[in-house]
Amino acid sequence: MRLVLVGPPGAGKGTQAQFLAAHYSIPHIATGDIFRANLKAGTPLGMQAKTFMDRGELVPDSVTNDMVKDRLLQDDLANGFLLDGFPRNVAQAEVLRANLTQKATPLTAVLELAIDSSEIIARLSSRRTCKDCGLPTVGNEKCPTCGGEVYQREDDKEDVIARRLEVYEEQTAPIISFYRSEGLLITVSATGAVEEITQRAISALSRVS
């Protein structure tokens, strides 16, 4: 299963990605997580990404595409992969397609998590993230998964959320039509309980894989 997960910030991509990656035994590749890990470790890549991330803007394609290309060369992809947060614009989608075509490993499907914009701000501004495992949570002082401390991501503060949503509409939403025209798009509603959404996704994906 070679899967891309797409949806606005706050649609629950990180949470669903975690369950779907476990279900299909495939690595969860989240570009935002890779950037945050680099930021935490103080690497040059992290430093390069920081100014863009703090403003809710996209990190330049040249940086992001190379980072994903390198990740897709690692040898843990025998069962496939789940990309979360990449591609974020049509140019990235085209680079990914070229890269996968060259390796004769095209995408199996692109799963869109659809959610009303009114729900997004409420979800994101109450979201906290674990300092240790990076998983999102709401209403907990400690991470329910690993017990780590939780914090509010700089880019989950309200002014940055507004910019991230604009960036999504302007730059990322067009990849939905791109993948629809490629015949790869599957859309499921991202409203409801986490487990229900996962089941919806698995059932929709069982029709294509």
Catalytic residues: 13, 88, 127, 153, 164
Cα–Cα distance measured from residue 20 to residue 204, given in angstroms and rounded to the nearest whole number: 12
Distance (Å, whole) CA 49 – CA 60: 8
Q: Please report whether residue 24 would count as binding ligand AMP according to CB under 6 A.
A: no
Residue placing its CB nearer to ligand AMP in the complex, 160 or 197: 160
Among candidate residues 138, 107, 86, the one with its CA nearest the CA of residue 3: 107
User: Distance (Å, rounded) from C-alpha 101 to C-alpha 95?
Assistant: 10
Q: Which positions from 132 through 161 interact with ligand AMP, judged by CB under 6 A?
A: 155
* Residue with smaller CB distance to ligand AMP, 9 or 12: 9
CB of 206 to ligand AMP, least distance (A): 26
Q: Which of 4, 59, 93, 95 binds ligand AMP (CB under 6 A)?
A: 59
CB closer to ligand AMP, 72 vs 199: 72
DSSP alpha helix (H) spans, the chain: 13-24, 31-41, 44-55, 61-71, 90-102, 117-125, 158-167, 174-181, 194-206
* 55/199 with CB nearer ligand AMP: 55
CA angle 179, 185, 191 (to 5 degrees): 125
Considering only residues 38, 64, 129, 137, which one is a binding residue for ligand AMP as defined by CB under 6 A? 64
Q: Which of 123, 127, 128, 164 binds ligand AMP (CB under 6 A)?
A: 164
Q: Which of 53, 107, 175, 184 touches ligand AMP (CB under 6 A)? A: 53
Rounded distance between C-alpha atoms, residue 209 and residue 200, angstroms: 15
Binding site for ligand AMP (CB under 6 A): 9, 31-32, 35, 52-53, 56-59, 64, 85-86, 88, 92, 155, 164
